Amino acid sequence: MFREALRREIRDAITRAMESGAIPSGEVPAFEVEVPRDRRHGDYATNAALLLAKQAGGVPREIAQRLVEFYAPPPDRIARLEVAGPGFINIAVAWPWKRDLVATICRLGDGYGLQAIGAGRRVNVEFVSANPTGPLHVGAGRNAVIGDVLANLLEALGFSISREYYMNDAGQKVHNLARSVEAHYLTMLGQPTPPPEGGYPGEYVKDLAGRLVADDGDRWLRVSEDERLDHLRDISVTAVVADIREVLERFGVRFDTWFSERALIRSGAVDRALAEIRARDYIYEADGKTWFRSTCFGDDKDRVIVKPTGEWTYFGSDIAYHLDKLARGFDLMINVWAIDHIGDVARVKGGLAALGISPEALEILIYQHVRLKNAGEYLRMSKSSGEFVALRELMDAVGVDAARYFFAMISPAVPMDFDVALALQHSQDNPVYYVQYAHARIAGILREAAAAGIGAPPAGGMEAPLPLDRLTDEREAALIHALGELPEVIRLAGLRREPHRLCAYAREVAEAFHLFYTHCRVLTDDPDLTGARLALVEATRIVLRRTLGLLGVSAPDSM
């Protein structure tokens, strides 16, 4: 809020100073308006003079001094401007401007922080997309939160977002699932059958077979193996997808589109994509296989795109899939992938490049694996080992709010240790409670005010002028400063694809509030002071609820 205005005004000051010859003219550098680490330096600081000095020569502190003279903002907005250190300009926001922000937030309500940067550009965010061969494990939880929160952020920035799940429901993996169910099915009907090579050992596989026996009895013994496997695959995938969908919904994630790879292949889209790449001469036949010249796009060797059996490799359908997304009108595709797919990034982009599509149309956000720790021991997690911990179990154990907050809290680029024992034993210590507690406290104050007949400020219109000039305390100032950062946090977290910034911010706001709360009583016998502080409390509630909302974490009125 403050930052946008400061950036604009400093840019104007630079332009005016250049025009008058007070500083060397040239391009306006990409300067920063940042919060100084040491808050005694003021609310904000800019390095504009340092960059100008570097660019056009001159003494940084002198240039800073000139800028200060040309800036000359009205005193009801900036209380102090001073040149400091090597040439920073420190900026202290004046009280009237801070008080304005409180009124603005109360007026905007949940609209506070919304921006128009995206200008309606259509963005497809594809995430989770786990193979439908079994229940989601905890790694999918991290993927889900990163994707969902990023989608929320981009929506707040004015992008038009579609959330998508790509189901790899064709190919060997789902075939193996069908074989695994078949083995149990046959065994249950008196034909002992060992589990297949590459099969899935989980309990859910047996349940699927059991359900089939209950529903259809031995009907599927009396058909051909192909027919049986087709049916088993269909019912298994359907059941697994339903389970995945249910878990994700409980986890607060809803997709606009569940995209089927089988349907894509059946539509002929993959054949068409291949034909187009072939027309551009990036395809050749050798050893009975069809190859893609990925070496033309920086790969270290060419890749098979059609196997000797005539089946597509995953690569063919991947290309067709991304073409399909573009055909649906998206300006940008963002995929959230686990680190083990890092090698595929260049290949898929290469495939798209072969069709003349800019690599910038597809952005792949890589996140590191989640390691589950239990009392210091790392748990092996893979579906084939059968030893994975399901997202459902984790969610049941620590709660949706804690799980989401925890997954969101850590930068995607950093491998994450999730200590199950700790989460189970000390879930009360999870940082999410600190933030939620601040919200609950606020709700308590507003309840109390209402019960005492004190009119809390309405979230919508604030027609009556508030006695905000009664806000004078340094903790009030610090809290307002924190509230002012929401738009910038949303901007950075969204544009840099760094959802974890929201958690750091939520904590900051909660901390500033708790500090305010301990030192500044809200409900007093001074009506004006009470009114002013109630407005600040309401503004804080809006910001906390908004931030938690972007994280998909609840903002409870009581705990």
Residues 351-390 touching RNA, rule: CB under 7 A, are 366, 368-369
The identity of residue 83, as a single letter, is V
Among positions 57, 190, 343, 356, the unique one binding RNA when judged by CB under 7 A = 343
Smallest gap, in angstroms, from Cβ of residue 185 to RNA? 23
Smallest gap, in angstroms, from Cβ of residue 397 to RNA? 16
Among positions 103, 213, 229, 515, the unique one binding RNA when judged by CB under 7 A = 515
Please report, as residue ranges, which positions from 419 to 438 form the binding site for RNA (by CB under 7 A).
Answer: 426, 428-429, 431, 433-434, 437
Q: Give the x/- contact pattern for RNA in 192-231, rule: CB under 7 A.
A: ----------------------------------------
Site size with RNA, rule: CB under 7 A: 88
463 is an interface residue for RNA by CB under 7 A: no
Smallest gap, in angstroms, from Cβ of residue 328 to RNA? 21
Please report, as residue ranges, which positions from 127 to 146 form the binding site for RNA (by CB under 7 A).
Answer: 131
CB 276 within 8 A of CB 324: no
**What is the Cα–Cα distance from 482 to 329, expressed in whole angstroms?**
38
- For residue 335, report the phi and psi dihedrals to the nearest 5 degrees: -110, 140
Let me know if 366 is exposed, middle or buried by CB neighbors in 10 A (0-12, 13-18, 19+): middle
User: Token pair of 93, please?
Assistant: 């926001």
Smallest gap, in angstroms, from Cβ of residue 17 to RNA? 18
**What is the Cα–Cα distance from 306 to 224, expressed in whole angstroms?**
27
Among positions 221, 242, 296, 413, the unique one binding RNA when judged by CB under 7 A = 413
> In Å, how far are 1, 33, 485 from 4, measured between CA atoms?
6, 9, 10
Smallest gap, in angstroms, from Cβ of residue 446 to RNA? 8
Q: Using the minimum distance from each CB to RNA, give the nearer residue, 101 or 212.
A: 101
Smallest gap, in angstroms, from Cβ of residue 139 to RNA? 11
Sheet holding 303-306, edge to edge: 283-286, 289-292, 303-306
The identity of residue 240, as a single letter, is V
Q: Give the x/- contact pattern for RNA in 465-484, rule: CB under 7 A.
A: --------------------
Please report, as residue ranges, which positions from 245 to 284 form the binding site for RNA (by CB under 7 A).
Answer: 261
User: Which of 474, 465, 454 has its CA nearest to residue 100?
Assistant: 465
Smallest gap, in angstroms, from Cβ of residue 208 to RNA? 19
Among positions 344, 363, 393, 473, the unique one binding RNA when judged by CB under 7 A = 344
Smallest gap, in angstroms, from Cβ of residue 284 to RNA? 14
Smallest gap, in angstroms, from Cβ of residue 538 to RNA? 13
Please report, as residue ranges, which positions from 279 to 298 form the binding site for RNA (by CB under 7 A).
Answer: 287, 289
Contact segment (CB under 7 A) with RNA among 93-101, 150-158, 201-209, 443-451 equals 443-451
DSSP per-residue codes, 381-431 = --TTTT-PPBHHHHHHHH-HHHHHHHHHHS-TTS-EEEEHHHHHH-GGGSH
Other CB atoms within 10 Å distance of the CB of residue 361: 16
521 is an interface residue for RNA by CB under 7 A: yes
Please report, as residue ranges, which positions from 144 to 163 form the binding site for RNA (by CB under 7 A).
Answer: none
CB 484 within 8 A of CB 91: no
* Residues whose CB is less than 8 angstroms from the CB of residue 409 and which lie 6 or more positions away in sequence, other chains included: 431, 500, 503
User: Which of 368, 351, 477 has its CA nearest to residue 412?
Assistant: 368
Among positions 92, 514, 545, 554, the unique one binding RNA when judged by CB under 7 A = 514
Other CB atoms within 10 Å distance of the CB of residue 189: 16
Please report, as residue ranges, which positions from 36 to 95 form the binding site for RNA (by CB under 7 A).
Answer: 36-38, 40-41, 45, 47, 50-51, 53-54, 60, 84-88, 90
Q: Give the x/- contact pattern for RNA in 5-44, rule: CB under 7 A.
A: ---------------------------x-xxxxx-xx---
Q: Using the minimum distance from each CB to RNA, give the nearer residue, 213 or 339.
A: 339
417 is an interface residue for RNA by CB under 7 A: yes
Contact segment (CB under 7 A) with RNA among 170-178, 204-212, 248-256, 272-280 equals 170-178
**Residue corresponding to tokens 């047996």:** 206
CB 62 within 8 A of CB 23: no
Within the chain, how many helices (H) and strands (E) appear?
Answer: 20, 15
Contact segment (CB under 7 A) with RNA among 5-13, 227-235, 413-421, 456-464 equals 413-421
Among positions 8, 266, 307, 328, the unique one binding RNA when judged by CB under 7 A = 307
Q: What is the DSSP letter of 104?
A: H
| Run of H or E including 282 | none
State whether residue 539 is helix, strand or coil. helix
CB 134 within 8 A of CB 381: no
**Residue corresponding to tokens 């002028």:** 465
**Residue corresponding to tokens 């500090």:** 515
CB 146 within 8 A of CB 102: no
Q: Give the x/- contact pattern for RNA in 94-123, rule: CB under 7 A.
A: ------------------------------
